[in-house]
Structure 1
Amino acid sequence: MILAGVAILLVGMSNLGNGFKSFSGGLLEKILKKSTDTRVKSIAFGTITTILMQSSTLVSVISISFLGAGLITLAQGIGIVFGANLGNSAGSWLIVGLTKINISTLAIPLVVSGALLGFQKDSVLKGLGSVFIGIGFFFLGVDYIKSGFESYKEIMDLSKFNFTGMKGVLIFVALGAITTGIVQSSHATIAIIISALISNQITYENALAATLGTSVGGVVTAVVASLSTNLDGKKLAVANCIFNFTIALIVIVLFPFFVNLVNLVADILGIENIALKTALFHTLFNLVAVILISMFVGQIVAFLDRVIKEPKNRDTDRPLYLNNNILEYPDTAIEALQKESEHLYNNAYAMIAHTIGFNRSDIRSKESFDFIVENKKWFSGSVDLDYLYRQKIKVLFDAIMEFSTKAQLYADDEAKVHRIFSFKLASRNITEATKNLKIIQGNMKVYANSTNKYLADEYNEMRKDMGELLRSIEKLKLMKDESVHLILQNLKGAEKLLKEKDYSAFHRVETLITENKISVTNGTSILNDSAFMAQIAINLIEAVVIIFAKDEYSEEIKQD
């Protein structure tokens, strides 16, 4: 019966989490942006969200995923997970309250109502049904666990296995941590602890120690979730460990003091029930931890930045923002795709810059490209474009295609489906642009440095045109939202100019050949490479318009 109770409670927690996800509709993401800009707000957001969802693990996993997607900063994420630990203690009060009433009278109507709502077509009603079922199963699970312990005490008295002193504290902290790590739910473990306590199977102090252990074991799920996210996600998981391990160590060392503190506060509040005192203990040590450790968030961030770094000499790039945990949040998935597409563009930008003989510092500078071409030599190193394509482009393109295909399944309206699909087009255009670099690489370096001035001028004009385009895109990335629309319109208009310029190259080449200034072979090379350069530029423009366009321009892009 105890095991059945744990199973039912876990099913309830799963339904509760899925219910909140199904009708968030981007609300959680919007609240995150507006409600986590200060440390206090971040902690409050984590606390309130956890109280509503009744799962600090879920809030921590969501925070890690949103941080990985670049939606929040590391400091904001740390504030949220600190608050989530505090909000998690509300579950202890709920569980204690449930042990004092006939829970089935509440649970059955909730489960029945949830099942009926689950058959509705409306996603909000379905989500509400999942929440009702989750709460109902949560209630039933607690009831089964309580009944199981009440039956078990007639068969065997576990109280004889209780330990006193520091030995008892360490043993029951470990038991609480291990149980929570196995069942992946601190609420399930708390339900077991409270039920065992009111059945006199464990002592009051052992119950407090085991409750402390749930905070330690609760980090397991967040740590596992961080394995599939980027570096910042891993840092947040470590910050969560720092929070829980630090307060656990402090409470263990000062355990008698905390017991006295709980008893003192309980006397002030008029609380005599030992189960309620256990819930009070859960709240107090998390509150102390939030007050104490939140003062060192800046130092924690600096420590994590210093200690956790990307491995050196790692040639193969990897996605920085894509994480399957955010697929169920379409708005966040779209932001992640936008950032990852920009990451892909940045890799392509570096390859294109080197192919046309410019350093990235040249492109970002204010010097004219006429001056750069005249006064700076082509860099001496060679670039293996095939290798860079495999290591820096294709791996990201594949990841974007896979993630966007999955994300479309969760999109809840046509505009979001189209926006997600557009990133496939953008990443394909960038990938095609880098493929064409190999074709022009050899001629570009040889002919731009040719002793034949006319031949060199033609190739240097191609270099300068591409350099100007890359410089415009770099400026675009730094512009404010209100200026972006105009620049995007200009870039789209540039496509026509590129095609016209490619066409005019025929007349220039024809004249140069007629005047014997270049050979016919040189002329055909200019025409071919000019066409390839124009196509690379067009691919880049089409990709950039998608990546940097805001939602209000989506209909316009759709028509294009």
Structure 2
Amino acid sequence: MDYGFYDILQLIGALGLFLFGMKVMSDALLKLAGNKMRSILATMTSNKYLGIFTGFLITSIIQSSSATTLMVVSFSNAGLLTLTESISVIMGANIGTTITAWLLTILGFKVSMSAIALPLIGFGFAFTFIKRDQALNWGNFIIGFALLFIGLQFLKEAMPDLNNNPEILSFLSQYTHLGFLSVLLFLFIGTILTVVIQSSSATMALTLIMTAQGWIPFELAAAMVLGENVGTTITANLASIIANYQAKRTARAHLIFNLLGVLWMLILFYPFLRFISWLSVYLGSDSPYINAAAIPVAISLFHTMFNIINTFLLMWFINPIAKLVERMIPVKLIPAKEIDEPKFLTKEVLKYPETAIAGLIEESKYLYKNAVFEIVTHALNVHREDIISNLKLKKVIEKSKVQFQTDVRDLYVTKVKYIYGEIINYATKSQSKLNLTEAQNKQIAEIKIANRKMVEIIKDVSELSRNVILYLNSDNKYIQKEYDKFRKKIAKTLRVIYLFRTEEDNQSYYQTLQELKHKAKENSYKNNLAIDMLIREDLITVDMASSWFNDNNNVNDMIEKLIVVAELLYGRKDSLLENGLNKDQQKSA
């Protein structure tokens, strides 16, 4: 056999050049498409048809189903995509990846790109001298595109020639005449190759070259393509290992979708191949069973038809697939800790601006709902359940006379301080490391303001709480009544905010919040006639009056800050985030 160690190294090097070209081209396209593609992914998935089209569109443009799938996993991890939306996008990505096969078949086998590849690299390199990111990305795309086909040409040349190395055919022949067992064997080979190389495009290129060289017949090449469809799911499953249960569900759904497709295809394998052969002849090509040179076109046709039909069949079963993976991967409850830690902020959210913003908003909402709301209500000696109930506020205040053992400082340290620090940390990193638009930068700045306001609210309520406890069961019914008014005003604000953030039609609650904020501003500058009368008639002491005036300003400031937090975290009608919230989060919001 005239094929030695040096030739094997050349083959590996050619594959490396092909993969490098694919990576450079795909990365450049990702940067060029950038914010627009991610925005489309996060917003155009309201139904399964749009989701499938979105997955197809993005994969066709960025030429990498793995990149699309990893983006979907990241968006699922951040809660920007629901499970059913993620499945539909992945289905579309499977169709989009067939464009790469046609690109390789037409430009790599039907047309020789090697003659213009080097001039293309020179042309692309000229773009890198322009001091603009967009021009640099275009230059990298052109260079990557050229390298891809140079690598493909080297792959074709590095593959051993059967005329000079007939031993290879004799080696393969013992595995190509085992009937359906050969099909399963080459399906497994296609899976393993894709897992090892981490690129279905590279495995497809190898398959096309092997068929063009006459190594393997049409049916075994088709089996390898089926294996590539299984192997490409491994990338997403590996990425989801360190992600949350939502991302794991998305990756598992991808695997189940592709496995189901391979299963029905194996049942109809030989009739389907005869259909592809007929279609190839109908479209003007030769039959892949007669002419080996026609196999690359037939394989590309097989790849495309299989993924289109598989998507069409399984799109009606998106919900059952989603329910299956939900049973396989249940919701993972976060264990309680002495000091609360972030639930939505992970290293992965800093990958994209959209996921970073979604993580920051969800963490901020969680902080308000599970810490700030609890601390404020307990500091006022009011039950949270009463605030969110339909009980009249007068009754809420009257029934909450029993003093709570509330240490606001301790609650701040255990429930707020660390999470607040991490929110500011992640927000600052997002602004410094990610390529944000002006609107995204403003959004993160608003998130930081909302969190700072929440910390100020806790400090304000800590001061108020001392006098609430002091006067709650005071013998002086007048001062007790005044502090009950304070509690009622804050309780009303908290209730309206709750309705504003949970009710779908919340415009009326928004208007109520604006009125409450306006009244709070007015009350900061107006003396209360009732308290003046109490002072004049010596119905309250000087100390009580002094406490009241300080706390009156404090209460009005708190109300303003609470409403500002609600506006910043819940007031924005941002479709990017509205579409991204998964159903579990919507129910618990």
> What range describes the TM-score normalised by the shorter chain of this pair?
0.7 to 0.9
Query: CA–CA distance in 1 between the matches of 2:397 and 2:517?
Result: 27
> What is the CA–CA distance in structure 1 between the aligned matches of 2:498 and 2:472, rounded to whole Å?
24
Residue 456 of structure 1 pairs with residue 475 of structure 2: no
Distance 1:17 1:483 in 2: 48
Please provide the CA RMSD for this pair.
3.8
TM-score normalised over the length of structure 2: 0.80
Q: 1:544 is matched with which residue? A: 566
CA contact (8 A) 2:412 2:458 kept: yes
2:115 equivalent to 1:105:
yes
The runs of 5 or more residues in structure 2 that have no matched partner are: 1-9, 288-293, 575-589
Contact 1:45 1:80 in 2 (8 A): yes
Answering whether residue 445 of structure 2 is matched by residue 431 of structure 1, we say no
Q: Give the stretch that moved more between structures: 268-277 or 252-261.
A: 252-261
Structure 1 residues 315-324 or 402-411, which shifts more? Answer: 315-324
In the alignment, structure 1 segments of 5+ residues that lack a partner are: 553-560
Partners of 1:100 and 1:321 in 2: CA distance:
50
Q: How many Å apart are 1:215 and its aligned residue?
A: 1.4
**Match for 1:65: what amino acid?**
S
Structure 1 residues 425 and 313, CA, compared in 2 at 3 Å: closer, same or farther?
closer
Measured in 1, the distance between the counterparts of 2:69 and 2:212 equals 30
Change (3 A) 1:425 1:281: same
Cα distance between partner residues in 1 of 2:410 and 2:213? 67
Deviation at 1:232, TM superposition (A): 3.0
User: Following the alignment from structure 2 to structure 1, what is the Cα–Cα distance between the partners of residues 207 and 221?
Assistant: 6
SS of 2:159 mapped into structure 1: helix
**Structure-1 separation of matches of 2:187 and 2:407:** 56
Q: Deviations over 1:12-35 (max 9, x none)?
A: 333333323323364224534664
1:200 and 2:214 are equivalent in the alignment:
yes
> CA distance change for structure 1 residues 182 and 360 in 2, over 3 Å: closer, same or farther?
farther
> Is the alpha carbon distance of 1:483 and 1:372 closer, same or farther for their aligned partners in structure 2, counting shifts above 3 Å?
closer
2:98 pairs with 1:89:
yes
Q: Which moved more, 1:118-127 or 1:449-458?
A: 449-458
Counterpart Cα distance in 1 of 2:386 and 2:359: 29
Partner of 1:556: none
Cα distance, 1:295 vs structure 2: 0.8
Which whole-Å CA distance do the structure 2 matches of 1:106 and 1:481 have between them? 61
Give the superposition deviation at 1:89: 1.9
Q: How far does residue 296 in structure 1 lie from its aligned partner after superposition?
A: 0.8
1:219 aligns with 2:233: yes
Matched, 1:131 2:141: yes
Asked if residue 174 in structure 1 is aligned to residue 199 in structure 2, the reply is no
Q: Given that residues 64 and 226 in structure 1 are in contact (C-alpha distance below 8 angstroms), is that contact kept between their aligned partners in structure 2?
A: yes
Q: Distance in 1 between matches of 2:379 and 2:279?
A: 71
Whole-Å Cα distance in 1 between the matches of residues 117 and 409 of structure 2? 62
Paired letter, 1:294: M
Which residue is equivalent to 1:404? 427
Structure 2 vs 1, CA of residues 493 and 75 (structure 1 numbering), >3 Å: closer, same or farther? same
Of 337, 360, 366, the residue aligned with 1:343 is 366
1:15 corresponding residue in structure 2? 24
Report the Cα distance in structure 1 between the residues aligned to 2:542 and 2:101, rounded to whole angstroms.
85
Is 2:279 aligned against 1:265? yes
Q: Is the 8 A contact 2:386 2:396 kept in 1?
A: yes
Cα gap change, 1:303 to 1:396, in 2 (>3 Å): farther
- Tell me how far apart the structure 2 counterparts of residues 173 and 318 of structure 1 sit (CA, whole Å): 45
Secondary structure of the structure 2 residue equivalent to 1:192: helix
In structure 1, the residue matched to 2:47 is 38
How many correspondences in the alignment? 548
- What residue is the counterpart of 1:371 in the other structure? 395
2:416 alignment counterpart: 393
Question: Could you tell me whether the CA contact under 8 Å between 2:37 and 2:58 is conserved in 1?
Answer: no
Q: CA deviation at 1:187?
A: 0.6
Distance between the aligned counterparts of 1:388 and 1:453, measured in 2?
A: 30
Identify the residue that residue 210 of structure 1 maps to in structure 2.
224
2:336 corresponds to which of 298, 315, 321: 315
Indicate how the Cα distance of structure 1 residues 326 and 270 shifts in structure 2: closer, same or farther if over 3 A, else same.
farther
User: What is the rounded CA distance, in whole Å, between the counterparts of 1:381 and 1:140 in structure 2?
Assistant: 74
8 Å CA contact 2:162–2:213 kept in 1: the answer is no
Give the whole-Å Cα distance in 1 for the aligned partners of 2:57 and 2:156.
Answer: 28
- Alignment partner of 2:331: what SS? coil
| Counterparts of 1:96 and 1:345, CA distance in 2 | 56
Alignment of 1:465-504 (within 5 A): 465-477=489-501, 478=503, 490=515, 493=518, 496-497=521-522, 499-500=524-525
Q: Show CA shifts across 1:131-160 (max 9, x none).
A: 223322222222222222146985684441
Change (3 A) 1:435 1:210: farther
Q: Which whole-Å CA distance do the structure 1 matches of 2:184 and 2:468 have between them? A: 70
**Equivalent residue number for residue 301 of structure 2:** 280
d(CA) in 2 for partners of 1:526, 1:488 = 24
Aligned to 1:5: 14
| 1:83 Cα offset (Å) | 0.9
Percentage of matched positions with identical amino acids: 28
Q: Which residue of 2 aligns with 1:295?
A: 316
